Structure 1
């Protein structure tokens, strides 16, 4: 009996710490399209917070973001959770990290599902976040530039491929924020350079040697759950995210932020 109790306690501890700790995943993207002025630029991606908290007043998460020393911060949707909507909790995190670097944000399906999307966008804009609703911005440095495109989640009624078709294909190095990874081929077809996505929650339960068990929009044993996917000159970076939604526990799937460093060949 004691043996089973010890095993149960160990399992509970593994699940608890595996859901409350945060990993910083570091990725380097190298390309001859990256302007030399942007060599070494560091982007920190935050995705799928789902109103989760990491330490009192988000202290653990704020510290992780600060320690990554970002030049830009990308938030790729589902900052809130439509099932337990607490906008102030999520704004608390964003307000604390606005001083670290410029922040760019796109919606996920949960923001749209709240039917409070305009309030969410207005609240974020008021604290200094660049909210991109099927829009693009250009960042310039020493006469060189990269562009950032933000794609609204398709739950708003506009398919991702339709949203992408608004933007001219360009030789300018292009970073796309888009919540959903399952439409990878749309990003490839539009020749974007890097896509930052989330949504899959790492497959929720990660099976060693196999990968994620299930993801929204992809079903069982999904392909796009975590890490980097490449085709032609397009790379898609998929964050495992931070919080949970329908199912409250992750297994072998530590919450993460991603730190991407650009390297010019």
Structure 2
């Protein structure tokens, strides 16, 4: 009986740590296309919140974000969860961090599944968020420009490859927000520089030596679940995300925010 109780305590402790302790993952991206004025710029990525809460009014998550001192914030979809849709709760995080840095956002599949995308986008825009729906923005710093592209989740009916094609063949250093990592080859073929994705939830259960177990769009033992993947000149960042959806818990897969530092070489 004592051994059973100890096992239960261990399992509960593991589940608590794996689902509530936020990890900050730092990644450096080096490229000769990064303008010198952007050398050292930090970009914070938030993905797959799924209406999860971390402390009262998101205070634990907000404190983690504040400590990064990021100059740009990217939200790469599934801020809400279509299975327990609570837009006001999801927007609370944005309200808390909107003054930290410019925020850019793209939809995930859960936003589209709510059939309330227009309201979500309008609500975010009213808070000061740059909502990118298969469009680009050129931003300038100290006289030098880079490009930020936002690709809507393909659940809206437009394939990622189709959405990307209109932005190919541009010499500007390009950052892409796109929810789906399984379309990595589309980013490579269109010569995108750095792509920020989520959706895979880190494989939900991470197995030592094997990685993630299962991910939407990739099935069992998925290829793209966490960290940076590089092919040719394209770097894809995959955030493990913060919340859960159909599978309500994680194992060996803490909630994560990602900080990418740009380096000019």
Partner of 1:40: 40
Partner of 1:82: 82
Partner of 1:145: 145
Partner of 1:111: 111
SS at match of 2:84: coil
SS at match of 1:34: coil
Q: Distance between the aligned counterparts of 1:231 and 1:17, measured in 2?
A: 34
Partner of 2:198: 198
> Residue 226 of structure 2 contacts residue 237 of structure 2 at CA under 8 Å; is this kept in 1?
yes
User: Which consecutive residues of structure 2, in runs of 5 or more, have no partner in the other structure?
Assistant: none
Q: What's the CA shift for 1:168?
A: 3.5
Q: Structure 1 residue runs of 4+, over 2 Å off? A: none
Partner of 2:91: 91
Q: Is 164-173 or 142-151 further displaced after alignment?
A: 164-173
Partner of 1:63: 63
Q: Distance between the aligned counterparts of 1:42 and 1:20, measured in 2?
A: 24
2:20 maps to 1:20: yes
SS at match of 1:112: helix
Q: Distance between the aligned counterparts of 2:90 and 2:61, measured in 1?
A: 12
TM-score by length of 1: 0.99
> Residue 168 of structure 2 contacts residue 191 of structure 2 at CA under 8 Å; is this kept in 1?
no
Partner of 1:181: 181
TM-score by length of 2: 0.99
Pairwise CA RMSD: 0.6
User: Which consecutive residues of structure 1, in runs of 5 or more, have no partner in the other structure?
Assistant: none
Q: Is 113-122 or 7-16 further displaced after alignment?
A: 7-16
SS at match of 2:11: helix
SS at match of 1:9: helix
Q: Distance between the aligned counterparts of 1:264 and 1:174, measured in 2?
A: 13
Q: Distance between the aligned counterparts of 2:69 and 2:123, measured in 1?
A: 25
**What's the CA shift string for 1:168-224, capped at 9, x where partnerless?**
421110000000000000000000000000000000000000010000000000000
